[in-house]
Structure 1
């Protein structure tokens, strides 16, 4: 099946253009989320990598408990990654994790706000819950953001993401339905109730859960016969999944333009291959990538170094190599590379825009880990009639605002300019021959 036919056959939900709203920034998303929670009447399903114990996380959890107290019949489910909830922040030493906070809050409130942990693999290193999209009554709030101070711009710093609001009962039902089918009494334990099971005791349940996930899909109507604006929800876990196939089909279907945004430049081979095929076809490609200092793993000079602090430089090295090998395309303007940098803030916007028709929203980092290990999803907006071009263009211009174009790979600097600790770590990594393996799990 050619890529155009594959995309056209994907089942999706027909939607009016005015039913899709792009929220401009993290503060607008936080306000919208809190307002929608306060107004909910039937159901709230919050899905995120984590709900953090900080001021913004407390604000969200307070809103959920207040909504439950006001309307006891309201069904509230929060779904987060099981491993992430049971550990502290990277580099912060031993901490009880957010699960202890969830339990303390439940004991304090005495209300039923169920918080489930989903273990996608037997170890966090080999896969996490990376589903996105929260459902409140008949609307879907879709973003790659988790729930903490930086993602929600609670104080001075923000982490830029993408924020979309869909008013669609069919889409909300499909996404809530998948979450309900995902949850399992033993495989996805309650984190707000003690005692938490030991990781070793969950291994069998986790393997069965992952096998079941491979067979799962969003239940939506068949593709409509007439061209119309529609939203296609896609699920992805493991190699060759529907999200991966659709993403590659998007790149293969491009005839004039591709825009790719990712905070971490580490594309899998299949994506790199489709990029090069598109360049060969004469397609104009634009990459928007976060500057190393806009990476959430970045460690400023003078702060204690850890291995994770080398990751921004590794991503930068990947991009520099990519740009050097395609210097001719950059010089003639066919390949545009933009580096997002708003000093003091971080970058987390992910997605793909193809021609003037397709827009993919996803939490997938478009890297080997996202393609092979994590549980991912995405919403593909298919706009064959050009009904949603203005909001699409406005969002893209907003992402480009702090992303100037580079003229050549040399604009990214040189490896010799990396801090001494980073150079030492990356040199050891290369000599150990572990670099290819490391890149697969980043």
Structure 2
């Protein structure tokens, strides 16, 4: 066997998603679950997401499996842990598991004092309340800089609550501030089984995956061989889904996973869906730093006459933004770097913007932040995902998403209502000059950007952050 040849499952994705067909036709060849349209619910805001999560945990009787980048040591994180332990006390035989990124759980917040991270909270709960909630740390790379567990999805009994959000005060709209994402609740036992089965097959029990709520905690250097094996396994991993004809009137939902730059089924599916767009694309990303293949496909769509809407966060709505009245730290450079990328893109496509074919939407609502991602293609295909559509997601992080195929357009009104809700706090850019010129950035930012550009480190940052 040729070791460089992509695995069979990846070659099948490429074959099934051939060029020259609409996005709906592209998706017809993929395995999928048939879901009744009434079992797909779009939640409107972070408060509704928090309410739904806590209600589902309180009602659970069979299983609770939460997968997220992190569960934070703050009021919202403790509220979720309290709910998990209470659910386990009500049903002692129930499976309750949480999967978070190994590295993210063992460090403090960026810019804060060094600490043991969220893992200290998990151990404290286990010592006080017993061993009812298993919390696993998943290291997909040896260092956080080079990739994290970015898989999302909460499986509670036969329901899947999917969002790109993690679990902390701002994602769950505690204390008056929120970080906006997208939120979908899907009721389907087969889809829930598939996503739970992935966690059990590929994460739980793997030598690289350790309990964070128990001592002793291994050092990352002691796991390097196991992490290497886990990476190899994840490159070939996929969700189980049936190859069945989806009946008329049902929505086809395909769970997708992707890891690594090459032969990545999630990346390949996203690209091919974009290539198949005929009329309209809506793309959400929190950090404007599109991978080169995505930029190339968007350029092709514009030349074909397709209408494209891209919604991003204003630099002040970026979670790394530092207001001018606060002391500047180097991490605060990132929002300006992303805005510079957006300004360059808008300048290159100013003719498409002028005639209304390309619509760039900038979201801002007070001091709240923006974390929305996903894809709408024509009126029939949607992708809900935690993928940020940036080079890091494309090559380094373990990502997943749900592809919704809706040939009868029964979800179109729900998607359109969500799109209108998101635009309430967004403005369309009429011209690239509506964005700040980098010459007017704060002095510390201008100095850093100039130094990075001189040695081309800005390109490296765009790939890693």
Tell whether the structures are fold-level matches, with TM greater than 0.5: yes
- Counterpart among 221, 235, 260 of residue 242 in structure 2: 221
The 5 A counterparts of 1:38-53 are 38-53=58-73
Post-superposition Cα deviations, 1:38-77, rounded to whole Å, max 9, x if no partner, equal 1100000011100001000000000000011111011001
- Would you say the 8 A contact 1:68–1:111 is kept in 2? no
Structure 1 position 373 matched with structure 2 position 377:
no
Residue 79 of structure 1: CA displacement?
Answer: 0.3
- Once residues 350 and 322 of structure 2 are traced to their aligned partners in structure 1, the CA distance between those partners, rounded to angstroms, is 30
Q: Secondary structure at the match of 2:211?
A: coil
- The answer to whether the 8 Å contact 1:49/1:80 transfers is yes
Task: Please tell me whether residue 301 in structure 1 is matched to residue 324 in structure 2.
Answer: yes
How well do the aligned residues superpose, as a CA RMSD in angstroms?
Answer: 1.0
Change (3 A) 1:429 1:223: farther
Give the corresponding residue for 1:30: 50
1:387 matched to 2:410? The reply is yes
TM-score normalised by structure 2 residue count: 0.94
Structure 1 distance, partners of 2:202, 2:451, is 41
Residue by residue over 1:317-337, the C-alpha shift from the partner in whole angstroms, topping out at 9 and shown as x without a partner, is 000000001100000000011
Unaligned 5+ segments in structure 1 are none
1:253 counterpart residue number? 276
Q: Which residue pairs with 2:350 in the alignment?
A: 327
- Work out whether residues 291 and 391 of structure 2, in 8 Å CA contact, stay in contact via their aligned partners in 1: yes
Consecutive unaligned residues of structure 2, counting only runs of 5 or more, are 1-17
**What secondary structure, in the 3-state scheme, does the structure 2 residue paired with 1:129 have?**
coil
* Structure 1 stretches of at least 4 aligned residues deviating more than 6 Å after TM superposition: none
Relative to structure 2, which stretch is displaced further, 146-155 or 5-14?
A: 5-14
Q: Is the 8 A contact 1:37 1:44 kept in 2?
A: yes
What is aligned with 1:362?
385
Residues of 2 paired with 1:373 and 1:220: CA distance?
25
**Structure 1: how far apart are the matches of 2:266 and 2:206?**
27
Q: Structure 1 residue 186: deviation in Å?
A: 2.5
Q: Distance in 2 between matches of 1:241 and 1:8?
A: 19
Q: Distance in 2 between matches of 1:286 and 1:392?
A: 14
Q: Which of 52, 56, 66 is matched with 2:86 structurally?
A: 66
Q: 2:252 matched to which residue of 1?
A: 230
Shift of residue 223 of structure 1?
A: 4.2
Instruction: Please say if residues 257 and 401 of structure 2, whose CA atoms lie closer than 8 Å, have aligned partners that are also in contact.
Output: yes
Tell me the SS of whatever aligns to 1:337: strand
Distance in 1 between residues matched to 2:219 and 2:244, nearest whole Å:
44
Q: Deviations over 1:233-266 (max 9, x none)?
A: 1001002311000100111010000011111000
| CA gap 1:330/1:37 in 2 versus in 1, 3 angstroms | same
Partner of residue 397, structure 1 = 420
> Aligned to 1:204, which of 221, 225, 233?
225
Aligned residue number for residue 14 of structure 2: none
1:269 aligns with 2:292: yes
CA distance in 1, matches of 2:30, 2:330: 41
State the shift of 1:7 in Å.
2.1
Secondary structure (helix, strand or coil) at the match of 2:299 reads helix
8 Å contact from structure 2 (residues 286, 373) kept in 1: yes
Contact conserved, 1:218 with 1:234, CA < 8 A, in 2? yes
CA deviations on 1:262-312 (whole Å, 9 max, x unpaired) are: 110000110000000000110000110100000000011122222210000
> Is the aligned partner of 1:144 residue 2:164?
yes
User: Shift of residue 6 of structure 1?
Assistant: 3.9
Q: For each residue in 1:64-100, what CA deviation from the matched residue of structure 2 results, as whole angstroms up to 9, or x when unmatched?
A: 0001111101100100000000000000021110001
CA distance in 1, matches of 2:461, 2:337: 10
SS in 2 for 1:404: strand
1:345 is aligned to 2:368 = yes
SS in 2 for 1:264: coil
| Aligned positions, number | 442
